[in-house]
Amino acid sequence: MTIWTDLTGVDHALRHVDVNGLRTRALQAGDGEAVVFLHGTSGHLEAFVRNIPAHSREYACHAIDMMGHGYTDGPDEPYRIPGYVRHVLGYLDACGIERAHFVGESLGGWVAARLAADHPDRVGRLTLVAPGGTVANPAVMERIKTSTRAAVETDDIDLTRKRLHLLMHDPAANVSEELVQVRHAIYHRPEFVKAIGNLLCLQEMENRTRDLLTPEQMGRIAAPTLIVWGAQNPFGDVPEAHRMNAAIPGSRLEIFGECGHWPQHEHADRFNELHLAFLEEA
């Protein structure tokens, strides 16, 4: 199992785009309508390498490191949802993209949903993969905060491995040593370590509750919406997915069995087939 060798044979470019002064890492591949992939908390664009080859045959794919994540710069302030939305919109503008389809996983789903609610003209179709942003569960927030800080503030690579294992129903089959090495290198960038408090600010109750997706916001999402959830998602129970499905008009919910927090990775073939068919719907 590998990460970057999944892209063997796929024409792609790894670029750094200036987004309103923030140097933003992006993986770009393919031509056609734009599809933007947004990862989760403390994540990075490699979360989608199992999806880019299939999607780039028909679409212009943009997997980006969001603000303050991966190898993308972050401002010296807490990373709140409105800031993430501004950064993504800035990326679209910098690349000359008027309208894109979005795939948002976890935090990325939260950001994409807020963007779709507030800027409907910029969103074609919306896919929310184990999205966050509808509840503030202290136990889950503490698990994310504690496991991430431990992996970032200690050089023990096994803590990075454990942080990735949390995401999967079957970590043995889905967490390669290469993925561990990639995330460990990111976690130990001096800039990342310095900004970890800003990055984890949404795991603090005061910040999170101010930015949660409201029923009114979800009710304003006009884009055709697909929600994909793992039945064994450790960061959100299945009823959470059903509530989001009920709140977003006309949305569709697909629950993957034997699946954790990364459906697009753990069940890449199923996800790719489902999502490409969704993008092609009239």
Which residues are marked as active site?
261
Phi/psi at 102 (nearest 5 deg)?
-125, 140
DSSP-derived pairing of the beta strands 22-29 and 12-19: antiparallel
Spatial distance between the Cα atoms of 196 and 190, rounded to a whole number of angstroms: 10
CB 62, CB 95: distance < 8 Å: yes
Taking CA 88 as the corner, what is the angle to CA 83 and CA 89, rounded to the nearest 5 degrees?
Answer: 95
SS3 254: strand
Q: Where are the alpha helices (DSSP H) in 56-94?
A: 81-94
SS3 183: helix
CB 19, CB 12: distance < 8 Å: no
Q: Where are the alpha helices (DSSP H) in the chain?
A: 52-55, 81-94, 107-118, 138-153, 157-165, 171-174, 177-187, 190-194, 196-199, 205-211, 215-219, 238-247, 263-266, 268-280
CB 203, CB 144: distance < 8 Å: yes
